[in-house]
Amino acid sequence: MGVGGCLVVPWRCLVVLCLRLVFLVPAGVPVRSGDATFPKAMDNVTVRQGESATLRCSVDNRVTRVAWLNRSSILYAGNDKWCLDPRVVLLTNTKTEYSIQIQDVDVYDEGPYTCSVQTDNHPKTSRVHLIVQVSPKIVEISSDISINEGGNISLTCVATGRPDPTITWRHISPKAVGFVSEDEYLEITGITREQSGEYECSASNDVAAPIIRRVKVTVNYPPYISDAKSTGVPVGQKGILQCEASAVPAAEFQWYKEDKRLVEGQKGVKVESKAFFSRLTFFNVSEQDYGNYTCMASNKLGNTNVSIILYVNHESGCADMNSGVVVRLDLLVWEIMG
């Protein structure tokens, strides 16, 4: 559209306008454009949205009338303003330069502007093109997503700007290397748990700093037990069995001895479970506590379990780990002597 707000005047003013234009561009005289030496407007002017654009036209003492036009609308004729737009102001009107300024430039100001001069009844023009650059802006991006391992996802990031911004996707992960996509769309098929985390969309066009937004991708998978060790503890001492499991959503833990489930509050035993591990604590280990325990981890996608043995461990005893039978060395000695 260009600079708007040109005067809408009654018919009497139109008569005056026509007379002035006759002086500026006499009938029957062709308008010359692109004169090699005079008048000389600037080359293309490039500004960022919101900045001010200055349009300069070099003239000399042969000039009798001057004007700046935007397409077919007169902005200024000499010192007289013909446009209502308050952003357009006259900067310079001398024997060597005729300049105007457009403040707070917007995209609709982009386009051709013409400096027209009158010399010895011969009109001449010179044209300059105003280019408006716009910082990138992300106008649409996918929401955070949760998906089961093995599924497919498609992330979208749409941005605007002048010139058109370049869009890149990057996985924010210590193991990720470089960009995973240089397009508005990022598609992942057969996603794995290692591909979970945040994905960063960056929109850049060198007009301003890149605009960055992030999408969180959660990959759900069933539990797997990563660490569990049997433990040897002397009678009367404190004993701890622990198993660790990785899962999304976080696993729920259960402890069993044979077919009996152990619960919190049971005498002499404490069950403590966190997001990624569970601990079974015996405050005063007795002979009845020794044996095989099962740690089970489960979530909505599945479950897994592991067996852990609590066995006796002191200077005068050892454990037969194959049979699970505790052998007291002192009793064995008496049997041999007897």
* Per-residue pLDDT reduced to its tens digit, 306-328: 999 999 986 434 444 333 333 34
Q: Is a pLDDT exceeding 50 seen at residue 59?
A: yes
The sign of the CA dihedral 234, 256, 303, 174 is negative
pLDDT at 331: 39
pLDDT at 161: 96
pLDDT bracket for residue 61 (50, 70, 90): confident
Q: Which residues of 304-336 are buried (b: 16+ CB within 10 A; e: fewer)?
A: ebbebbbbbbeeebebeeeeeeeeeeeeeeeee
SS3 content of the chain, % helix, strand, coil (to 5): 10, 55, 35
- The DSSP line for 84-124 is --TTEEEEEESSSEEEEEE-S--GGG-EEEEEEEEETTEEE
Tally of CB atoms within 10 A around 288: 8
Looking at the DSSP bridge assignments, the partners of residue 225 are 245
28 CB contacts (<8 Å, ≥6 apart)? none
For the question of whether the overall pTM of this predicted structure is more than 0.75, the answer is no
The residue assigned the tokens 């489960």 is 298
Q: Is a pLDDT exceeding 60 seen at residue 74?
A: yes
**Residue 334 to residue 336: CA distance in whole angstroms:** 5
Mean pLDDT of 28-50: 62
pLDDT at 119: 84
Q: Is a pLDDT exceeding 70 seen at residue 24?
A: no
pLDDT at 180: 82
- Helix/strand/coil for 144: coil
Cα dist. 2→75, 82, 114, 131 in Å?
A: 11, 14, 12, 11
pLDDT bracket for residue 336 (50, 70, 90): very low
pLDDT at 105: 97
Q: Is a pLDDT exceeding 90 seen at residue 36?
A: no
